[in-house]
A = this chain, B = another copy of it.
Amino acid sequence: MFVIRRSVRFSETDMAGVMHFSNYMRWMEDAEHAFWRALGLGVHMPDEAGAISWPRAAASCEYRAPARFEEEIELRVAVERIGGKSLVLVIDFHRDAQHIARGRMTTVCCRLSAEGFTSIEIPAPIRSALEQFAAQASPGGPA
């Protein structure tokens, strides 16, 4: 499990007085990028053949309790599945002892070129870093 902490900004709230549901997606992406950096990899990974990037194929979030202005929230990143070309991350949102939301992102390993994105097999060094993280971080499963 990899963890970051964030406080809700005023500009992230809406007129219902809580963090707008779309902003959980931005936070999930921030956690994903911090996770890649913690693995010693950037989210844009230049290699000998150009660059690798991870556009999302799907993103979802279950909202259990709202988050409010200035509250500190902990985001816990777990690897749920390492596929041939794709990666599923689960990002849990906690406020103190309360589990307030669960996000999930399916990202696809792509080579980035002038023509756009082409999906590729996850390169061995990246797969190895992900597997090592998954083995250490979640011996009992993704949650």
Write the residues of chain A forming the contact surface with B, with a CB cutoff of 8 angstroms.
Answer: 9-11, 13-18, 20-23, 25-26, 29-30, 33, 42-43, 53, 55-63, 66, 69-70
Contact = CB atoms under 8 A, between A and B. Distances in A.
Contacts of A16: 15, 53, 55
Contact of A59 (B18, B30, B61): B61
Instruction: Give the secondary structure class of A's interface.
Output: mixed
A57 B63 CA distance: 5
A118 to B, nearest CB: 13
A29 B26 CA distance: 16
A53 B63 CA distance: 15
A82 B43 CA distance: 40
A19 B9 CA distance: 15
B21 A10 contact: no
A36 to B, nearest CB: 11
Contact of A58 (B11, B18, B29, B60): B60
A10 B59 CA distance: 16
A57 B60 CA distance: 11
